[in-house]
A and B are shown apart, each in its own frame.
Chain A
Amino acid sequence: MSAYQQWVAFLTIVTKEIRRFTRIWPQTLLPPAITMTLYFVIFGNLIGSRIGEMGGFNYMQYIVPGLIMMSVIQNSYGNVVSSFFSTKFQHSIEEMLVSPMPAHVILNGFIVGGMVRGMLVGLIVSLLSLFFTHLSMQHLLITITVVILTAALFALGGFINAIFANKFDDISIVPTFILTPLTYLGGVFYSIDLLPEFWRTVSLANPIVYMVNAFRYGVLGVSDVNVYASLGAILMFVVAFYLLALWLLQRGTGIRH
């Protein structure tokens, strides 16, 4: 395929993915908006007013960046894992496998589709947060970079999960038992500096701590960890996950006999 044909094929997958998640918007875009609004009301307004300041900001301002990242993570992952597994389940993956599309075009299409949903939900949650607090952007470039890299990383994670999944249960195990606990313990609701030394050190092994803090640094200008080291680590994981996903796709793991 020529470079132009590959570009057309890539856009076809991205368009298909966007069409899919916008067609079922009550399942994809509405729930995170409602959930995050509840977080803002309960944790930010009701409980947050009794907590006081954290990291030099009122509690609502402090948790908003973390909740935006949580939405980006969950939706980037969720979009790719459910969409790619559905194409396997319905065998419509064969439409792509019989075509001359190289594996990297298929992978890029799904990943960008997942990133678009993750970032769109992130934008919706950001706009909703403005009803509850004032946000000022301290470092725009870092904010955008960390969102893009995080969305890419979790879209790739969803893709790898879908490749190995054989039944619908398999696509909910990782989000339920790994992703959600890591996110809740990833410094979304608190500064890890509040933790005893031991648990603070343990928290540093949680990759989501770096993403949430890097994003919080972009928005508020404060972070519990070194922001540039965080960006480097996320980038490294993106590259590693991309190469793994591409290798699995090329050898046909879970999709070819």
Chain B
Amino acid sequence: MSALTIRNLTKTYANGVQALKGIDLQVEKGDFFALLGPNGAGKSTTIGVISSLVNKTGGEVSIFGYSLDTERALAKQKIGVVPQEFNFNQFEKVFDIVVTQAGFYGIPAPLARERAEKYLRQLGLWEKRDKQSRTLSGGMKRRLMIARALVHEPELLILDEPTAGVDIELRRSMWDFLTRINGEGKTIILTTHYLEEAESLCRHIAIIDHGTIVENTDMKSLLEKLQVETFILDLARPVTEEPVLEGFEVWLKDSRTLEVAVPKSQSLNTLFVALADQHFEVMSMRNKANRLEELFVRLVEQNLPGEQAS
């Protein structure tokens, strides 16, 4: 069963900006799905329409088979939304925010309090339950919004940039949490600028740019499309000019650092043999960008209006 089905979704804002130009998307139940795109691509508009914060211009959206047009209340019961911006009352207490949100879904107070405790504990916020939300750190505020989105126990959780501005340790713990609830059966859709996050968490991915879906596939198939991977090599000894390596593009970034573009048709063994032949000793190697990031940049570049794919 599809958790989310979008058909020919369009959105034109009052100022004439066409944010969505007829997108189609399907997310299966239990999936961990990434929706990626540069700023202004249409990600937040798409999430806004799904969560009823933005009125669509045309098209259809259904959640677990319930149409947002004709069965809106049933559709909304199935979704939990974690927005990009903090959108809770800054003067309310943490516990009250979560309990009140449960009330908006018609959950009676005793059960709402029980659920609020459960999710605040799971997200490490129980000790802060009596604090005004404005006193929380940025990471805690993000976790509060996740607890709030889960309190009515939705089947589909949508997170818009959930780890933006969150430190590495907290980001990892948030990833673990999301992986765990996905393993328990919750469908998750996230947008992120950290492509490492999408690559390590998500099984399917859609890339949106200029209001259209430019790629929609599973992560493995997408990464296989990456034709060239760029590596940074740290050299043992300083050099004055880059080596000439047949079949590879090489740039000398500084006297001890080489950047090498390795086509999919070439093996790394060939690269190292060629370097060794020219007496270049490599001490360490890393990806310039993660694979998804490299692919993402290429796809978005291809989609630039008036530019040809290189």
Q: Which A residues are closer than 8 A to B by beta carbons?
A: 1-2, 4-6, 8-9, 11-13, 15-16, 19, 23, 86-87, 90-92, 94-102, 252, 256-257
What are the interface flags for B96-128 relative to A under an 8 Å C-beta threshold, 1 for contact and 0 otherwise? 100011011111110000000000000000000
Distance in angstroms between the alpha carbons of A9 and B105 in the assembled complex: 6
Cβ contacts A to B, 12 pairs, < 8 Å: A2-B106, A4-B106, A12-B104, A15-B103, A16-B100, A86-B89, A90-B87, A90-B89, A98-B51, A98-B81, A100-B72, A256-B52
Q: Does B194 contact A (CB under 8 A)?
A: no
Q: Please state if B87 and A19 are interface contacts (CB–CB under 8 Å).
A: no
Of A6, A16, A90, A95, most B-chain CB atoms within 10 Å: A95
User: Contact: A98 with B100, CB < 8 Å?
Assistant: no
Q: List chain B residues, Cβ under 8 A from A16.
A: 100
Complex-state Cα separation, A86 to B89, whole angstroms: 9
Inter-chain contacts of B83 with A (CB < 8 A): 91, 94
Is B103 within 8 A of A9, CB to CB?
Answer: yes
Whether B106 lies near A1 (C-beta < 8 A) is yes
Contact A98 B52 (CB under 8 A): yes
- From A9, A11, A12, residue with most partner B Cβ within 10 Å: A12
B→A interface (CB under 8 Å)? 13-14, 48, 51-55, 72-74, 76-77, 79, 81, 83, 85-91, 96, 100-101, 103-109, 148, 152
The main secondary structure of chain A at its interface with chain B is: helix
Q: Judging by beta carbons under 8 Å apart, are A98 and B103 in contact?
A: no
Apart from A11-B103, A252-B55, A257-B53, what 17 extra A-B contacts exist at CB < 8 Å?
A1-B106, A5-B106, A8-B107, A9-B103, A16-B100, A87-B89, A90-B87, A95-B87, A97-B53, A98-B51, A98-B81, A100-B72, A100-B76, A100-B105, A256-B52, A256-B55, A257-B48
Q: A9-B106, A12-B103, A102-B73 are in contact. Are A97 and B87 (CB under 8 A)?
A: no
Q: What chain B residues lie within 8 Å of A96 (beta carbons)?
A: 104
Known: A94-B53, A94-B83. A99 touches B89 (CB 8 A): no
Residue in A6, A92, A256 whose beta carbon sits within 8 Å of that of B88 in the complex: A92
Question: CB-CB < 8 A to A252: which residues of B?
Answer: 55
Query: In the assembled complex, which residues on chain B have CB atoms less than 8 Å from the CB atom of A9?
Result: 103-106
Which residue of B is nearest A5, CB measured?
B106
A97→B106 contact, CB < 8 A: no
Q: What CA separation (Å) do A94 and B52 show in the bound complex? A: 9
* Interchain CB contact under 8 A, A257 and B89: no
> Chain A residues near B85 (CB, 8 Å)?
91
Are A100 and B73 in touch, CB under 8 angstroms?
yes
